[in-house]
């Protein structure tokens, strides 16, 4: 015999009796936790898949003689990041503050902290007590780690494209480990680890999904590498003019960009780490910014360069995605369109600007991730909408932006965070690259660079057995005075 009450079927002779309201509440909470866990894991897997996007995008935008090297770096960087984040990065980023932190009774320093700490080599099966900064979400500890790991890996991957076609494989591996184990978690703790930027007295610094924490951190680290390693052979003439070095496969690049666009629907909506009602809004703002970024970059490139350069179009879409990442949960769809539009135009001029500075970035990573990461972070202080902020199911501490009646309070907090994170990451990365340069070296030999890093570094070709298209694949002698003298475009 069975009885029914409140929608539950129970045995009539059950010693527990009919379910109570408390039982229903617990069951609902359990179901919500399962939904949160599944949602966060799926989004984490989408972000992991972005590694494939970075790999194919970078390989397509670089020359065929370096394709194996590009793919190898993008593969190994996530493996290195996984080890670094497990050993130290996760605990330093989300553990309780050990430098400048408040004591449990509220005493201690007036700021939340500069550095967190939790046990190294974590088992990741606990109740999350070692990671108080993530206590706001009820997903299991291992899920928290995995989701944050794929973000850390993204920051390291950004560096790969900016230093492509001339960097030693071992130097890149070591730098990636240092970035994810030490540099990334320190600045990440300030923002997502309930550190001092998250506790500014006027207004907390806000970065919902990582315009600063992930993208500009990767961008600053990449800038340091570009400065120390220097440009590719033949990229600039003695007069400072930039020579075009075209990518070998724009189909690969387009596929990579589309994979990244897809992955961003895990990156931004997944940052709720909760299956709540805001994920739809976040997905729409994310897509809107990407669309407007791509179209704007197309138009701007057409006007400025005379052609709708496909590389600029791809980077325009990515610029919109990076630009919306910090504010995707607190701005309207219309504001997302404006943010994407500005980012799409900004990335075109930024690429040209870095070339004038002789900062050689083969894939435009500095323009997409650093410049648009900074811009996107500023946008929180401009476009945060008081009608959108209260819709958050999870706690979001952000004040209305300048354009929505909030004054400059939030904008100032954003600028403080941008300056603090940028200076710290740039200096730490410069030191790391310099140490690598004077010890093991960071750049391949001129012979290896001209021959191609596939053979010089890995002893294989990316396209064995394929005949070269001799049109545009020969070595080119440049004007007298050109650095290194010869440029191989194959």
What's the whole-number mean pLDDT along residues 211-222?
98
pLDDT at 112: 55
pLDDT above 90 for 463: no
Question: What confidence category does residue 464 fall into, taking pLDDT thresholds of 50, 70 and 90?
Answer: confident
What's the whole-number mean pLDDT along residues 29-38?
88
Going from the N-terminus, what domains does the chain have, and what CATH number goes with each? Answer: 22-488 (1.10.3430.10)
pLDDT above 60 for 7: no
pLDDT above 60 for 391: yes
| 348 or 137, greater pLDDT | 348
| 104 or 335, greater pLDDT | 335
pLDDT above 50 for 479: no
Mean pLDDT of the chain: 88
What's the whole-number mean pLDDT along residues 381-403?
81
Q: State the CB neighbour count (10 A cutoff) for residue 27.
A: 12
pLDDT at 378: 98
Question: What confidence category does residue 381 fall into, taking pLDDT thresholds of 50, 70 and 90?
Answer: very high
pLDDT above 90 for 356: yes
What's the whole-number mean pLDDT along residues 218-243?
94
pLDDT at 389: 77
Question: What confidence category does residue 213 fall into, taking pLDDT thresholds of 50, 70 and 90?
Answer: very high
User: Cα separation of 274 and 39, whole Å?
Assistant: 7
pLDDT above 80 for 33: yes
Residue 446 CA, chain-centre distance (Å), reads 31
Could you give the C-alpha distances from 251 to 213, 254, 256, 295, 324, in angstroms and in order? Answer: 30, 5, 9, 19, 26
User: Cα separation of 130 and 126, whole Å?
Assistant: 8
pLDDT at 135: 87
pLDDT above 80 for 235: yes
17: which 2 tokens? 């009796």
pLDDT at 27: 67
pLDDT above 90 for 111: no
pLDDT above 50 for 486: no
pLDDT at 80: 98
Could you give the C-alpha distances from 290 to 78, 308, 319, 408, in angstroms and in order? Answer: 25, 17, 7, 27
pLDDT above 60 for 488: no
pLDDT at 16: 61
What's the whole-number mean pLDDT along residues 157-168?
97
Question: What confidence category does residue 131 fall into, taking pLDDT thresholds of 50, 70 and 90?
Answer: confident
pLDDT at 68: 96
Q: What is the share, in percent, of the chain residues with pLDDT greater than 90?
A: 73
pLDDT at 180: 98
pLDDT above 60 for 94: yes
pTM, to two decimals = 0.88
């Amino acid at each position: 015999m069975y009885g029914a009450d409140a929608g539950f079927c129970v045995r009539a002779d059950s010693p527990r009796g009919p379910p109570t309201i408390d039982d229903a509440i617990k069951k609902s909470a359990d179901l919500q936790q399962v939904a949160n866990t599944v949602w966060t894991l799926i989004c984490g897997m989408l972000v992991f898949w972005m590694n494939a996007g970075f790999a194919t995008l970078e390989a397509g935008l670089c020359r065929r003689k370096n394709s194996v090297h590009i793919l190898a770096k993008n593969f190994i960087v996530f493996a290195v990041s996984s080890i670094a984040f497990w050993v130290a990065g996760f605990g330093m980023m989300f553990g309780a503050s050990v430098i400048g932190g408040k004591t449990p009774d509220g005493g201690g320093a007036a700021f939340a902290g500069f550095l967190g700490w939790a046990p190294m080599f974590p088992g990741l099966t606990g109740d999350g007590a070692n990671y108080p900064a993530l206590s706001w979400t009820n997903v299991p500890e291992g899920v928290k780690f995995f989701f944050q790991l794929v973000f850390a890996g993204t920051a390291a991957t950004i560096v790969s494209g900016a230093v492509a076609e001339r960097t030693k494989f071992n130097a890149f591996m070591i730098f990636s480990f240092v970035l994810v184990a030490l540099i990334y978690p320190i600045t990440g703790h300030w923002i997502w680890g309930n550190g001092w930027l998250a506790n500014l007295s006027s207004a907390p610094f806000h970065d919902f999904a990582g315009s600063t924490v992930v993208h500009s951190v990767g961008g600053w680290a990449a800038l340091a590498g570009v400065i120390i390693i220097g440009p590719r052979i033949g990229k600039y003439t003695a007069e400072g003019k930039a020579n075009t070095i075209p990518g070998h496969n724009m189909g690969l690049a387009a596929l990579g960009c589309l994979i990244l666009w897809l992955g961003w629907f895990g990156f931004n909506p997944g940052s709720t780490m909760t299956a709540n009602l805001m994920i739809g809004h976040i997905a729409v703002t994310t897509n809107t910014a990407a669309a407007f970024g791509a179209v704007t970059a197309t138009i701007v490139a057409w006007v400025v360069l005379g052609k709708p350069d496909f590389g600029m179009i791809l980077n325009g879409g990515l610029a919109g995605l990076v630009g919306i990442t910090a504010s995707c949960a607190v701005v309207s769809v219309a504001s997302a369109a404006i943010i994407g539009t500005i980012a799409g135009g900004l990335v075109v001029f930024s690429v040209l600007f870095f070339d004038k500075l002789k900062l050689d970035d083969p894939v435009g990573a500095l323009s997409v991730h650093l410049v648009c990461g900074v811009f996107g972070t500023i946008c929180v202080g401009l476009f945060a909408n008081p009608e959108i902020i209260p819709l958050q199911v999870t706690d979001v501490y952000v004040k209305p932006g300048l354009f929505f009646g909030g004054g400059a309070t939030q904008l100032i907090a954003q600028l403080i965070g941008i300056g603090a994170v940028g200076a710290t990451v740039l200096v730490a990365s410069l030191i790391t690259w310099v140490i690598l340069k004077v010890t093991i070296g960071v750049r391949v030999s001129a012979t290896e660079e001209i021959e191609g890093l596939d053979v010089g570094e890995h002893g294989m070709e990316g396209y064995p057995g394929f005949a070269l298209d001799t049109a545009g694949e020969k070595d080119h002698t440049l004007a007298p005075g050109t650095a290194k003298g010869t440029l191989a475009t194959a």
